[in-house]
């Protein structure tokens, strides 16, 4: 990809082409109209789009725009978090006897913590939205994945090992991405598990594989819960 090799003119042309996409994605995070000349969030989104251009690889499992959307959302949320911290200075000018001031400081701490939790929830929500969009191309919904989730821990661990096998094997991974299905014959040659068992858990395995391939910080943490 010439742009990833440092062709700035091509990169600038691509950015200009996708300005509406960048604005729309940023507006979804900020939940308001975004000006290309007045909003700092738009500048952050432009930088994020360039970052996505440099970091994108088809091996991540999603289209470039899907990946760029995730990067933009994440960087804009990071910016909002930093601005909130900057605008909420916490005073430490108090004594042990200054109970009222201590209560005020505690309230500020609580407020900042509440906002941090809200942003983390926003991160997680954006990753779930991105995963849903990704799964849609495979004809899978999250509700189906939930229904198909193995009931026993050892079974969930086995499915995770299958997903890891797909990610690590170039042929398996590329077939999944290109044909939007698990290469069953090839997969059964790689692992000691029946085709019937894999078929029964197909949607769950594909979902785990996509999470492992993508840059999902928070959903990867959830994997610990899914198999425990």
CB 79 within 8 A of CB 59: no
Domain residue ranges in the chain: 3-136, 142-226
Q: What is the pLDDT along the chain (228 residues), one digit of tens a residue?
A: 566 666 788 888 889 999 999 999 999 888 889 998 889 999 999 999 999 998 888 776 678 888 898 899 889 988 887 887 776 554 445 454 455 554 554 554 555 566 567 767 777 787 888 888 889 999 999 899 888 888 888 888 899 999 999 999 989 998 998 899 998 988 888 888 888 999 999 999 999 999 888 878 777 776 666 554
Q: Please state, in angstroms and rounded to a whole number, the distance separating the CA atoms of residues 135 and 191.
A: 24
Query: Which pLDDT belongs to residue 140?
Result: 93
Residue 165 C-alpha from the chain's centroid = 21
E strand intervals along 6-159: none
Query: Which pLDDT belongs to residue 26?
Result: 92
pTM assigned to the model = 0.64
Report pLDDT digits (tens) over 34-68: 998 889 999 999 999 999 998 888 776 678 888 89
Query: Which pLDDT belongs to residue 183?
Result: 87
DSSP state of 154: H
């Amino acid at each position: 990809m010439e742009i990833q090799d440092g062709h700035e003119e091509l990169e600038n042309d691509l950015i200009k082409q996708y300005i509406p996409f960048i604005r729309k994605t940023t507006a979804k995070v900020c939940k308001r109209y975004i000006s290309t000349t007045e909003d700092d969030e738009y500048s952050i989104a432009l930088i994020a789009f360039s970052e996505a251009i440099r970091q994108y690889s088809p091996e991540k499992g999603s289209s470039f725009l899907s990946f760029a959307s995730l990067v933009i959302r994440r960087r804009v949320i990071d910016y909002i978090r930093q601005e909130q911290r900057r605008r909420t200075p916490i005073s430490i000018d108090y004594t042990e006897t200054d109970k009222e001031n201590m209560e005020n400081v505690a309230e500020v701490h609580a407020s900042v913590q509440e906002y941090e939790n809200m942003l983390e929830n926003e991160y997680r929500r954006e990753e779930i939205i991105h995963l849903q969009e990704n799964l849609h191309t495979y004809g899978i919904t999250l509700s189906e994945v939930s229904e198909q989730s193995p009931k026993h821990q050892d079974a969930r661990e086995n499915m995770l090992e299958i997903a890891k096998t797909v990610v690590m094997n170039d042929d398996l991974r590329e077939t999944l991405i290109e044909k939007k299905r698990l290469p069953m014959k090839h997969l059964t040659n790689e692992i000691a598990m029946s085709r019937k068992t894999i078929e029964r858990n197909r949607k769950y395995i594909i979902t785990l594989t996509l999470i492992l391939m993508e840059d999902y910080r928070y959903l990867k943490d959830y994997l610990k819960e899914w198999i425990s």
